[in-house]
Amino acid sequence: MAVHYELRGEVAVITIDRPERRNAINRATAMSLHDAWQRFEGDSDARVGILTGAGGSFSAGADLKDFDLIDDPHGFLGFTRQHGSKPTIAAVSGYAVAGGLEIALWCDMRVASEDAVFGCFERRFGVPLVDGGTQRLRHVVGLGRALDMILTGRAVGAHEALSMGLVNRVVPPGRALESAVELAREIAAFPQSTVRSDRAAVYDGLDLETGLAAERVHGLKVLEEAAGGASNFADGAGRHGDGVERRC
């Protein structure tokens, strides 16, 4: 299984387990992520959900070697257009880039290890942000910083991410998941009706539905270029955040 669901008391831990691909997401993995979050939503024993990745990386986003994602109503990556009712935390080690950054942004909070790296690396391949990144990043870090990351595709380390509000906690390497579980248990200990109603009020004020619809319209216009970028990546260009030749 590429996605695991584990209940630790009142905390559900959802783990992407494709470490050989830096937890990149293909269609099968996206479907499994959708199912995992649906399970969390319906699990009366789970008060807080954590998303993490196995093997030292969070997620490199869409699998550009197995580029079979579709425009699913729930999002290309399986769940990014869903709106859950419970608090969620991303536990980030290593790379949280491209779609990996977008799914980290889907979570309410982010706990990052000092070795974490964030970035819109899809910029190098002509792949659009279509899983909420253009909207959620702007709300989290502000317009100027969001455009800096989106337009340049540069790498952002954990401490810079903390300074701009992209992450909420920075912890030593190897402690992201453990620290996220501790934080989740703090939240789970509160009366949940008001936790959820206050959280819902925050999101209802953002008008994310309109923004996500606009992102989808613009993203679908350039998917042909995205396919060319995926082909470039599969041919070996632009690995590890390096620049790529413009061939698409």
3-state secondary structure of 231: helix
Kindly give the residue spans of alpha helices, DSSP state H, lying in 142-237: 143-152, 158-163, 176-188, 192-204, 208-220, 223-234
Rounded distance, CA 48 to CA 183, Å? 10
Question: Which residue carries 């190897």 as its tokens?
Answer: 174
Rounded distance, CA 222 to CA 213, Å? 15
Rounded distance, CA 134 to CA 147, Å? 9
Q: Which residues pair with 12 in a beta bridge?
A: 7, 49
Rounded distance, CA 175 to CA 89, Å? 14
Residues annotated as catalytic (active site), given as ranges: 102, 122
Q: Are 34 and 70 in contact (CB under 8 A)?
A: no
Put residue 123 in one of left, alpha, beta given phi > 0 → left and psi -120 to 50 → alpha.
alpha
Q: Are 93 and 176 in contact (CB under 8 A)?
A: yes
The structure tokens listed for 169 are 């906690």
